[in-house]
Structure 1
Amino acid sequence: MLIYNAEIHTMDAQGVIPCGWIETVEGRIKALGEGTPEDIPVDSIDAEGGMLLPGFIDAHTHLGIIEDSLDFEGDDCNESTDPFTPQMRAIDGINPFDRCFEEARMRGITAVASSPGSSNACGGEIAAIKTFGRRIDDMLIKNCGIKFALGENPKNVYNGREETPVTRMAITALIREGLYKARRYVHDMDSYYSDSENYDPPEYDIKCEALMPLLDRKIKAFFHCHRADDICTAMRISKEFGLDPVIVHGTEGQLIADIIAAEGVPVICGPLICDRCKPEMKGLELKNASLLHESGVKIAICTDHTVIPIQYLPLSAQAAVKGGLRFGEALRTLTVCPAEILGIDDVTGSLKEEKDADLQLYRKGDNPLDLMSEPVLVMIGGNICRREL
């Protein structure tokens, strides 16, 4: 497939190609360049000067794991019978036939991170997935991290059950205990493999097994936290155990933006277009993303779907623009930045040779973040999911 006569926003070192073309073969980008190709096959698409950019990525959702129009029957987000459940895997709870996947595709959202919830101090394994497909195994890009939660959510859930944890101290202690056990488990396993005659293998522990890639920094630690003090706790725990952390929400990040920047920790900001529904969100302001970016923090914008319906991801970035974020950077918060934060930038997030053909096209003059704009072409892994030209 060849798309030509397009204003290509590569979100890569090439920047913007004012008038260019892109060729896809077998689901990947084969080549792209400036000008008009000499040979234009009959099945090619004339972009008519429209904006071509990577598909949007929502770096924090509960897409498919909390299903549309259903209550308990379709909510598989929180295994709240145990406050520490790293062994839970989002891919085992996602329904790819949830109609919100279609709504995501129609708005140019080609990939998301679908996460277990924040009822538990540790909720489980996060899946980075494409929004096109019928079987989650085929949609999976990678299992990209472990979800932790600090603050009011675990406190409220377990206080209502009259169980631990009911304080921030207890939440942190549970996380620390689980990580320490996993670190010791790894040590005992290494001892066995290096000297099986003198050491026995540790008894199988599914929780420790789930945390091993985290301790090896093969996947990241995603910390749900709104308050500035909780953000600092997340960074402290990460230092203690050598984790690769990501802050999810970071509502009060603006209060310590310089500290977060100095630690080199990225923040997934959002939801933005919502009410301040609980005390720890009282500091919610549209300028948060802009202030974090200006301080040198890598940011992405998220909907936290189903909190904000996923099709309003571009509008959420537009809200951040109203809060002071530059338009070009807002596009990055939905493309290359979330890809880098999720560790899937080798596959998607920018338009570059050999990457997956995840892209979207808008008519000339349309603003891709505007509420009234919709892509006229959406392609996911080379599959045309929407075409209106």
Structure 2
Amino acid sequence: MLALVKGKVLTMAGKRYEEGLVIIDKGKIREVGPYRKPPADVEVIDVSGKVVMPGLIDAHTHLGIGEDGLGWEGRDYNEMTDPITPHLRAIDAINPEDDGFATARKNGVTTVMTGPGSANVLGGESVAVKTMGKTVDEMIIKNPVGIKAAFGENPKRVYHNQKKSPSTRMAVAALMREAFMEAQDYLKSKEEKISKNKAFKRNLKMESLARVIKGEIPLKAHAHRADDIMTILRIAREFNIKVTLEHCTEGHKIAEEIVRSGVPAIVGPTLTGKTKVELKNRTFETPGILSKAGVKVALMSDHPVIPVENLTVYAALAVKSGMNREEALKAITINPAEILGIDDRVGSLEPGKDADLVVFDRDPLDIMSKVEMVFINGDRVMDLK
């Protein structure tokens, strides 16, 4: 067993301790609370003056699929040959040796969602993984966490250049509706034939989409502009499916509509140039406006679009632009865990959860803060003291 003692503990579960205690046992958190003298058989690490909090979670990246420093060979996140590819699986493309994972760990990011890009109307299955492991299979927390969808400029541009559909926003929405209708018909036919003990020919695309239709996983919808956000909310109502808003750049314009939908928003990457029309209204005010309106907000890097290692910087800039400080910390810990459906294991410091922790030398939202220790599954994977 191992105990971190006398540091400021931010549990992200509604409690904090100015002088706390965290005990780790067999890869799990055994105890969290105010400081007391640990049992005699426990290894003790004094973190006085430090801040202990859950490992950070980046809710939207392409780590391991868009590999750092490899150029074309490392880009496996967009299959730009068919706009409808829900059956592609991120797990089959992730390289655990991508330098991005080591960079993430070094900076306190212990969990990420990684998955396909936004070239296709339906792009494939995303996964939640730890940032430490020899194989992707041992890194997986949940697979899949959703199916990627994309609205707006990206699919329009990709397929317009190929002189095929979709080249308009109308076609993007129409192709998505067609795919969902086909999935509904597929499920109905499958159930009827199985009930009559008749042979049924499976379809991999439809099997993936069926999980969305049945409400087992959400559609993770890339949408920057307000009108594109409203389109996905409209489609979600039509098919009674779960959705998460990915990017949500103009979400501040329609905050009330998003609140009414009950849909969470994963906002970012905001520390970019306005490199395309959809980003002309991007601002760090967006997460604060949405959060104050009642939307559950997480922040993202969209790595490699902007680096995963600066996740706390993005949270700090959101606070600078009006986001509540506690909500900003939640946006990189417990909120993404809840949105991804992995909060039973990560996102907060509570007994029974995975022992994923990060120790900062000061306030994590201070631009000068440094990560001193990182634990994943109770193992000290980074110690920069």
Question: Which position in structure 1 is the counterpart of 2:141?
Answer: 141
Question: Which position in structure 2 is the counterpart of 1:192?
Answer: 193
Once the two structures are TM-superposed, the CA of residue 39 in structure 1 deviates from its matched residue by 2.4
Local SS of the residue matching 1:261: helix
Tell me, yes or no, if the aligned pair for 2:3 and 2:42 is still in contact at 8 Å: no
Find the aligned partners of 1:312 and 1:35 in 2 and give their Cα distance: 31
Q: Which amino acid aligns with 2:345?
A: V
Question: Which position in structure 2 is the counterpart of 1:67?
Answer: 67
Once the two structures are TM-superposed, the CA of residue 326 in structure 1 deviates from its matched residue by 1.9
Local SS of the residue matching 1:39: coil
RMSD: 1.2
Find the aligned partners of 1:258 and 1:150 in 2 and give their Cα distance: 21
Render the CA deviation track for 1:76-100: whole Å, top value 9, x for unaligned.
0001111110000011111110111
Tell me, yes or no, if the aligned pair for 1:185 and 1:202 is still in contact at 8 Å: no
Q: After superposition, where does 1:1-389 map in structure 2 within 5 Å? A: 1-13=2-14, 15-41=15-41, 43-142=43-142, 143-196=144-197, 200-363=198-361, 366-389=362-385
Local SS of the residue matching 1:376: strand
Local SS of the residue matching 2:7: strand
Find the aligned partners of 1:147 and 1:222 in 2 and give their Cα distance: 5
323-332 or 131-140: bigger deviation: 323-332
Q: Which amino acid aligns with 1:331?
A: L
**Runs of at least 5 residues in structure 1 that lack an aligned partner in the other structure:** none
TM norm structure 1: 0.96
Find the aligned partners of 1:40 and 1:60 in 2 and give their Cα distance: 42
Once the two structures are TM-superposed, the CA of residue 221 in structure 1 deviates from its matched residue by 0.9
Tell me, yes or no, if the aligned pair for 2:85 and 2:123 is still in contact at 8 Å: yes
Once the two structures are TM-superposed, the CA of residue 42 in structure 1 deviates from its matched residue by 6.0
Find the aligned partners of 2:337 and 2:315 in 1 and give their Cα distance: 16
- Which aligned runs of 4 or more in structure 1 are off by greater than 3 angstroms? none
Tell me, yes or no, if the aligned pair for 1:188 and 1:201 is still in contact at 8 Å: no
Once the two structures are TM-superposed, the CA of residue 242 in structure 1 deviates from its matched residue by 1.4
Q: Which amino acid aligns with 2:373?
A: L
Once the two structures are TM-superposed, the CA of residue 109 in structure 1 deviates from its matched residue by 0.2
Once the two structures are TM-superposed, the CA of residue 201 in structure 1 deviates from its matched residue by 4.2
TM norm structure 2: 0.97
Find the aligned partners of 1:323 and 1:71 in 2 and give their Cα distance: 34
**Runs of at least 5 residues in structure 2 that lack an aligned partner in the other structure:** none
Q: Which amino acid aligns with 1:176?
A: R
Once the two structures are TM-superposed, the CA of residue 306 in structure 1 deviates from its matched residue by 0.5
Percentage identity across aligned positions? Answer: 43
Local SS of the residue matching 1:314: helix
Find the aligned partners of 1:228 and 1:257 in 2 and give their Cα distance: 10
Local SS of the residue matching 2:32: strand
Q: Which amino acid aligns with 1:262?
A: R
Render the CA deviation track for 1:268-325: whole Å, top value 9, x for unaligned.
0001111111001111011111111111111001011001011011111111111111
Q: Which amino acid aligns with 2:255?
A: A
Tell me, yes or no, if the aligned pair for 1:273 and 1:319 is still in contact at 8 Å: no
Local SS of the residue matching 1:68: coil
Local SS of the residue matching 1:166: coil
Tell me, yes or no, if the aligned pair for 2:194 and 2:200 is still in contact at 8 Å: no
Find the aligned partners of 1:232 and 1:40 in 2 and give their Cα distance: 58
Counting matched residue pairs gives 383
Local SS of the residue matching 1:337: helix
Tell me, yes or no, if the aligned pair for 1:272 and 1:319 is still in contact at 8 Å: no
Once the two structures are TM-superposed, the CA of residue 386 in structure 1 deviates from its matched residue by 1.1
Find the aligned partners of 2:38 and 2:86 in 1 and give their Cα distance: 54
Find the aligned partners of 1:111 and 1:92 in 2 and give their Cα distance: 18
Find the aligned partners of 2:43 and 2:340 in 1 and give their Cα distance: 34
Render the CA deviation track for 1:55-75: whole Å, top value 9, x for unaligned.
110000011100111221110
Once the two structures are TM-superposed, the CA of residue 370 in structure 1 deviates from its matched residue by 3.2
Tell me, yes or no, if the aligned pair for 1:226 and 1:281 is still in contact at 8 Å: yes
Find the aligned partners of 1:24 and 1:194 in 2 and give their Cα distance: 50
Tell me, yes or no, if the aligned pair for 1:249 and 1:268 is still in contact at 8 Å: yes
Find the aligned partners of 1:286 and 1:387 in 2 and give their Cα distance: 32
Distance 1:184 1:201, change over 3 A: farther
Local SS of the residue matching 1:284: coil
